[in-house]
Amino acid sequence: MNTRAPQSPRSPFGRALCAMVTPFTDDGALDLSAAQRLADRLVTEGCEGLVLSGTTGESPTTTDAEKTDLVRAVREAVDGRAAVLAGIGTSDTRHTLSLARQAQQAGTDGLLAVTPYYSRPPQDAVEAHFRALADAVDVPVMLYDIPGRTGTRIEPETMIRLAAHPRIVAVKDCAYDLLGTQKVMAATDLAYYTGCDEYVLALYALGGAGYVSTVANAVPRAFRAIVDAHDAGDTAEAAHRQRLTVPLTEAAMNAGLPGTVTVKALLAALGLPGGGPVRAPLRPAGHEVTDGLLRAYDALISASGTGGTSGPDSPPTPCGSR
């Protein structure tokens, strides 16, 4: 299928983005070969952009060198078929700028910059941090607003001021504040991508750019089908496709475990690239969680039908007993 939509002001990195997991070998090393196989599968199955080293990519436990190596390997694998964004956000502005420059040198198409975490800086410091980043690079920046993890919101008024910077072009929105999101969208040209899989259609229908999905690691075509149906003018089909993804999203994101843990468990159970170990302090999902993920996956595949760019992911042969 033709996976990458033309870039536009509304969707500068495409519409269908995946927050890609970072594969590791059984002994805990970065597995660049598996990362390339996963990236190739995701793009072939409908992703127009891949976001590396974010929350789902276990960025707190990968080294600076590993992050840079991952950008180079994934760029090689996708070979221009999709945008590649590098997560470079840390709690230290100097460190963030260093990672950003390394990612730019490695050839990233854009940067994902999370709010500085743990220290909980006030809004003027948050704004200064992002301005320093945008001033230091020549590639576009996607701000990552996820206060549930960072402890600090990028407030709508701060977002509106930051939108004036020419290199701050997009937002990955995990704030769970649809009112505040609409306020910023009405006042700026920022491209809003939802980072919450249950909000893909809701934000897109309001004029959002698309999504950065965790669950799409396992079912990229199922999420691509939502925006494709909306763009074709079939809002009822888009709503149907969104609802089909809900049980798997709930199983993956509401299991009391981080999404990277549950998605890697599902990928491993299905024998797909990217499944496998997580790095401590994370621990692998147990059999009960994995079995629930497989049931939800099977139900989604069964209910989705077959064929076409709006069709489901073809179910691979499971690895081992369910």
Kindly tell me if the per-residue pLDDT of 2 is higher than 70: no
In a domain, 226, yes or no: yes
Task: Report if residue 288 sits inside a domain.
Answer: no
pLDDT digits 0-9 by tens, 169-222? 999 999 999 999 999 999 999 999 999 999 999 999 999 999 999 999 999 999
Token pair of 154 as six digits: 């990028």
**Share above pLDDT 90 across residues of the chain, in percent, rounded to a whole number:** 91
Residue 172 appears among annotated catalytic residues: yes
Range of 91's domain? 16-233
pTM of the model: 0.93
Q: Is the pLDDT of residue 278 over 70?
A: yes
Distances (CA, A) of 309 to 171, 200, 270, 277, 316: 26, 17, 22, 31, 18
**Range in 120-129, 153-162, 228-237, 308-317 the model is least confident about:** 308-317
- Number of folded domains that form the chain: 1
pLDDT category of residue 10 using cuts at 50, 70 and 90: confident
Label residue 232 exposed, middle or buried (CB < 10 Å: 0-12, 13-18, 19+).
exposed
- The predicted pLDDT at position 312 comes to 44
Catalytic one of 67, 118, 144, 176 = 144
- Contact call for residues 156 and 188 (beta carbons, < 8 A): no
CATH number of the structural domain spanning residue 109? 3.20.20.70
- Residue 81, pLDDT above cutoff 70: yes
Using CA atoms, how far residue 31 sits from 36, 66, 73, 112, 218, in Å, is 9, 10, 10, 22, 18
**Residue 298 falls within a domain, yes or no?**
no
Catalytic, 193? Answer no
The pLDDT-based confidence of 304 (bands split at 50, 70, 90) is: confident
CA-based angle 95:258:112, to the nearest 5?
35
Q: Which of 67, 117, 118, 172 is catalytic?
A: 172
- Over residues 238-272, the pLDDT tens digits come to 999 999 999 999 999 999 999 999 999 999 999 99
pLDDT in tens, 127-164: 999 999 999 999 999 999 999 999 999 999 999 999 99
Query: What type of residue sits at position 144?
Result: Y
Instruction: Give dist(CA 97, CA 99) in Å, integer.
Output: 5
Q: Is residue 73 part of a domain?
A: yes
CA-based torsion, 197, 176, 207, 230: positive or negative: positive
Residue 6's pLDDT is: 53
Question: Which pLDDT value is given to residue 279?
Answer: 97
Kindly indicate the confidence band of residue 88, based on its pLDDT and cuts at 50, 70 and 90: very high
**CA neighbor of 52 nearest in space, from 79, 90, 21:** 21
302 falls within a domain: no
Any domain includes 1: no
Per the prediction, the chain carries an average pLDDT of: 93
- Mark 194-228 as b/e (b = at least 16 C-beta within 10 Å): bbbbbbbbebbeeebbbbbbbbbbbbbbbbbbbbb
Residue 307 lies in a domain: no
